[in-house]
Structure 1
Amino acid sequence: MARIAVVGAGVGGLATAARLAATGHEVTVYERSDTVGGKLGRYSRETPDGTFHFDTGPSLLTLPQVFTELFEATGAKLDEYVDLVPLDPIVRHVFPDGTRLDSCAEPTIFADRIEEAFGAPAATDWARLWRRAERVWDASWRDILRSPVDSPLSLARLAWRLGDLAAIAPGRTLRGLGRHHLRDPRLRMLLDRYATYTGADPRRAPAALVAVPYAELAFGGWYLRGGLGTLADALLSRCLDLGVVVQTGTTVTRIEAAGGRVQGVRLAGATAPARADVVVANVDALTVYRDLLPSPSRLTGLTDRSLAGFVLLLGVRGSSGLAHHTVFFPDDYDAEFDAVFGHPGRGVPARPALDPTVFVTVADDPQVRPDGHESWFVLVNAARHGRSMSGVDWRRAGLAEAYADRVLDVLAARGVDVRDRLVFREVRTPADLASDTAAPGGVIYGTAGSLLRPANRGPAHGLFLVGGSAHPGGGLPMVTLSAQIVAGQIGPA
């Protein structure tokens, strides 16, 4: 039995802790916040009209089989803890010309919807792309997503499968893949959006990210009744039932190591380190290698940060008739990416996009809003917080409120005007996410769009990395798979 310290009680940290405790280890989780869940955050607002509840992080659960396996591995059943609700549509896409396309988890039905919205040639194009996406997904699931990947050589294991290599198309971008397969610009726009699932610009993101829409549309999108934050509650409950000690309000200031091995963690205000045989870091890899266990050689490539998000939490009177998820696309998608990422090499700084894509989540769930009202989560892509050319100083006086006004004006221009129906609005910027979750710059996914993320095994013996900034990447299922990989590397007691 090893003494294991887990730094951070996000989904990756809690999932790892539960797996390790179930195999006999002594596990303690240290969380700087007063609550668990990390970026799977929640917010509640009491008003005279009633209480509004919001998920402030992920709003969609995909690959439910990953979570089913996690709970079974720890001796429980997922449906005993959360109530999964399948979504149809998974996402409603509203394009600049006013056409709509509802995605769903039935390929034949989705193809019919594409044909009805865009015509038969568009449906044929999508079917051809779908076959390629399936090959990429199968190769990724078999060889990458559930296995350690420590270097570019690890990815070379695919090379001998020529069919896989051709489908993955190394060197081609997601944008290039869309232009090759899809003639309709609206379908290309839909495909481009999946690059933002990894925090990337589709013009630079690898074509292999075509596996992302496949995973969503093949296995479905799900909502958890009461909000996705209930997943954090479920994981915490599993951990406590398995004997994990969870210390919230406890900040780890350093990972202690000597002789090439971890020794434990240093806690803020403590006179001596908390001893541990193994340390699992569920914090951003940049924070680990810059601050907790300085490792300059490991910082290479970690400065290419993903995009962040600008969020409005709205209490709205009345009913909007919106789908659970609705995406309103702009006229010029490239202008949005030019703004969010900037061109530092050309002296063009990142900035708020004037005409952004707007993603609105409205859960038809009486547990999260008063009768006769709706709780709206509104998200737009945003540059990270910072004062460099690749960031925006979201703390600058007046900027957040002015941009919130702009986002509401954009929504109104696209046919959804709620400005006269607001009970309240709460503004969350990348600076707030940076403060709340210690995510550098408030970025969502760590390194932007790369297939090769920091390895799960750290440079000191007994150090492991888990979570969205490490392999296999961001998003709830990927983070949960990273926990499976790490627990497998550590092994049973």
Structure 2
Amino acid sequence: MSRVVVVGAGLGGLSAAVRLRAGGHEVVLLEQAAEVGGKLGWFSRDGFSFDTGPSLLTLPAVQRDLFLKSGAPLESVLDVVKLDPLAHYRFPDGVELDLPGDGLPAVAAALDDALGPGRGEQWTTFLRRASAIWDVSRGPFLESALEGRRTLLALARDTSAIRTVAPWASLRTLGRRYLTDPRLRMMLDRYATYSGSHPGRAPAALATVPFVEQAFGGWYVRGGLRQLALAVADRARELGVTVRTGADVVAIETEGARVDGVRLADGERLRADVVVSGVDAAHLYRRLLPRPRLAPTARRRSSSGFVLLLALSGRTPGLRHHTVCFPDDYDAEFDDLSAGRPVADPTIYVSAPDDPALRPDEDSEAWFVLVNAPVHDPGGRPPGGTDWRAPGLAEDYARRVLDVMAARGLDVRDRLRWYEIRTPADLAEQTRSDGGAIYGSSSDGARSAFLRPANRSPVPGLFLVGGSAHPGGGLPLVGLSASIVADLIGPA
């Protein structure tokens, strides 16, 4: 039996702890915060409750696999609900669209009805290409560890796969081969933001994101997606994992060339045969290791998010679970993000689950509002961001977001009981992500998949899970990172 220390109790760390304990290892899970969950955050006040991280669960098969291999199935502990529609879109020309959640034929029909005949076929043709990319990339890219040049050389031999994935093309370039309607292109560009990237620089392989979401569906967990993290933590404890919160790891220690354990802020040392890091890779390599030169090449950080948590009086007729309101000039939004400045005219994302557990009474609503935002960067470190701690900035920008919402038909200013602001600086402080970058490094560039920090570190015995490591951010990929690492380490 190996002694494993897992650092960080986000979903990646929690899932790795469960899989490794189910494999017979002795596991201790350390979390610097008072609660588990990481970016699956939660905020409650006056009977209102909010998920402060992800609002959509896709590929629940990843989570089902975790629970089945560690005991009782997922549905025995969580109420997982399929969403239909997946989202309500409002385009700058006034057209509105409910995007169905019950399969691709329904999506095509809805696009024809809302945007005009032929739009459904355009989108379906594009998703056929995305489906082919998914088939080619799922095994070697998403479900396996990348082994540097060895992986590149193996993939390069399969010329058919290379043509399908089109690593030389951006998401936007690929989309414009199939989509002529600017609203369809706008829909596609949005998926680049799922990885905190620019659609003109993000790889064409990101086309798999809308395919997976619309082909397999999107899901919600009653009581909030935070319940998923709590359920995985409960499973970990049931299996015998020692879960310690308020345990701040300040160093990963080595003996010779190999991992030997960790040191906590209070001086306590825990010996380990294996350490699994679920913290942001930049924090790991810059702060926790004794040899910072082992850090991977610095890359552009993904974007972050500016969040408003709105406690509202009254109910909104026809309100959907997710609402997306696009700006007049979507390119200007990406230009602002690339320049590291707050977006002047942002896309508005609203998550407003119709869930009694999130509101104090039937005459109220709890809205999570997100706009894309540059990372927090008070020091101007390239590629730069915004000093979100600058006096008055967060409050002024919150008012700006509320005004933009009103201009797009979501005026809730006279219904506000109160609101809370969450900036990239808050996310950086709470989760120690680099500048509050939601997804670690961005997915910009053809080789981005191969430049993410690997699951097996250069230090023997040290492994990485979570959204900043391979295969990337988002609940499904974070879960897959834990599966990959458990396979790399093997059973006890």
Q: Shorter chain as normaliser: what TM range?
A: over 0.9
Residue 106 of structure 1: aligned partner: 103
Structure 1 residue ranges without an equivalent (≥5):
343-349
Residue 195 of structure 1: aligned partner: 192
Change (3 A) 1:290 1:242: same
CA contact (8 A) 2:296 2:453 kept: no
Residue 25 of structure 1: aligned partner: 25
1:222 to 219, 223, 237: 219
Deviations 1:388-421 (A, max 9, x none): 1621000000000000000000000001100000
Structure 2 residue ranges without an equivalent (≥5):
none
Change (3 A) 1:294 1:140: farther
Q: Report the CA distance between 1:181 and its aligned residue.
A: 1.1
CA contact (8 A) 2:251 2:290 kept: no
2:187 aligned counterpart, secondary structure? helix
Residue 358 of structure 2: aligned partner: 368
TM-score relative to the length of structure 1: 0.96
Cα distance in 2 between the residues matched to 1:149 and 1:210? 20
CA contact (8 A) 1:102 1:113 kept: yes
Cα distance in 2 between the residues matched to 1:162 and 1:334? 33
Listed as ranges, the matches of 1:45-194 within 5 Å are 45-46=45-46, 51-103=47-99, 104-194=101-191
2:233 to 228, 236, 239: 236
Q: Report the CA distance between 1:439 and its aligned residue.
A: 0.7
Cα distance in 1 between the residues matched to 2:120 and 2:302? 32
Q: Are positions 1:309 and 2:309 aligned together? A: no
Listed as ranges, the matches of 1:93-492 within 5 Å are 93-103=89-99, 104-270=101-267, 272-320=268-316, 321-342=318-339, 350-370=340-360, 371-387=362-378, 388=380, 390-449=384-443, 450-452=448-450, 453-492=452-491
Q: Report the CA distance between 1:296 and its aligned residue.
A: 4.2
Judge which range, 324-333 or 382-391, deviates more. Answer: 382-391
Q: Report the CA distance between 1:214 and its aligned residue.
A: 0.9
CA contact (8 A) 2:377 2:435 kept: yes
Deviations 1:323-348 (A, max 9, x none): 10011000111111111121xxxxxx
Q: Report the CA distance between 1:161 and its aligned residue.
A: 3.4
Cα distance in 2 between the residues matched to 1:98 and 1:62? 29
Cα distance in 1 between the residues matched to 2:272 and 2:358? 40
Cα distance in 1 between the residues matched to 2:407 and 2:354? 24
TM-score relative to the length of structure 2: 0.96
Q: Report the CA distance between 1:471 and its aligned residue.
A: 0.6
Cα distance in 1 between the residues matched to 2:458 and 2:272? 16
Cα distance in 1 between the residues matched to 2:353 and 2:153? 43
Cα distance in 2 between the residues matched to 1:137 and 1:157? 18
Q: CA RMSD in A?
A: 1.2
Change (3 A) 1:421 1:142: same
* Matched residues, number: 481
Cα distance in 2 between the residues matched to 1:375 and 1:138? 38
CA contact (8 A) 1:254 1:291 kept: yes
Judge which range, 450-459 or 238-247, deviates more. Answer: 450-459
Q: Report the CA distance between 1:122 and its aligned residue.
A: 1.9
Cα distance in 2 between the residues matched to 1:77 and 1:123? 37
CA contact (8 A) 2:87 2:321 kept: yes
CA contact (8 A) 2:299 2:442 kept: no
Matching residue's letter, 2:159: L
CA contact (8 A) 1:150 1:456 kept: no
CA contact (8 A) 2:306 2:370 kept: yes
Deviations 1:33-55 (A, max 9, x none): 00000000000011xxxx00000
CA contact (8 A) 1:175 1:207 kept: yes
Q: Report the CA distance between 1:76 and its aligned residue.
A: 1.9
Deviations 1:417-476 (A, max 9, x none): 000000110000000001111111011000101322111001111100000011110001
Deviations 1:129-160 (A, max 9, x none): 11100011111212221111131541443334
Cα distance in 2 between the residues matched to 1:200 and 1:391? 14
